[in-house]
Amino acid sequence: GAVVSQHPSWVICKSGTSVKIECRSLDFQATTMFWYRQFPKQSLMLMATSNEGSKATYEQGVEKDKFLINHASLTLSTLTVTSAHPEDSSFYICSAITGGSSTDTQYFGPGTRLTVL
């Protein structure tokens, strides 16, 4: 149980275009989803926390106008990288929890590799 999927698994786009990444909880309802970014051989950096039906909470230094997050349902959150540039190339990972506490286990998606040319 507790499977999280991401789509696409990898994407290549041209500089200046926008890319949407989907995160779905397949067999449970996720009250909260998280978006992370992971650079090669580095750790995960939390970008934002997304609660269903409300605005996402962004971490310091993350541009909310560049990384648009929508959590329209209890099973789907999307991250849109707007006007992508090569420095946005990274591995983006989402996670989801079922409860409302930070002690809840996070279930992670397999990640999306974004390459901006």
Interface ranges with another protein (CB under 8 A): 4, 32, 34, 36, 42-46, 49, 93, 95, 101-103, 105-111
Q: Measure the CA–CA gap between 71 and 23, rounded to whole angstroms.
A: 9
Least Å from the CB of residue 54 to another protein = 13
Q: Are strands 10-13 and 112-116 parallel, antiparallel or unpaired?
A: parallel
What minimum distance in Å lies between the beta carbon of 8 and another protein?
Answer: 14
**Residue 9 vs 17, nearer CB to another protein:** 9
Distance of closest approach, residue 107 Cβ to another protein, in angstroms: 8
Q: How far apart, in whole angstroms, are the C-alpha atoms of residue 27 and residue 20?
A: 22
Residue closer to another protein, measured from CB, 12 or 46: 46
* Tokens (6 digits) for 73: 């349902």
The smaller minimum CB distance to another protein, of residues 67 and 107, is found at: 107
Cβ contact 24:5 at 8 Å: yes
Q: Can you tell me the distance from the alpha carbon of 80 to that of 22, in angstroms, rounded to the nearest whole number?
A: 9
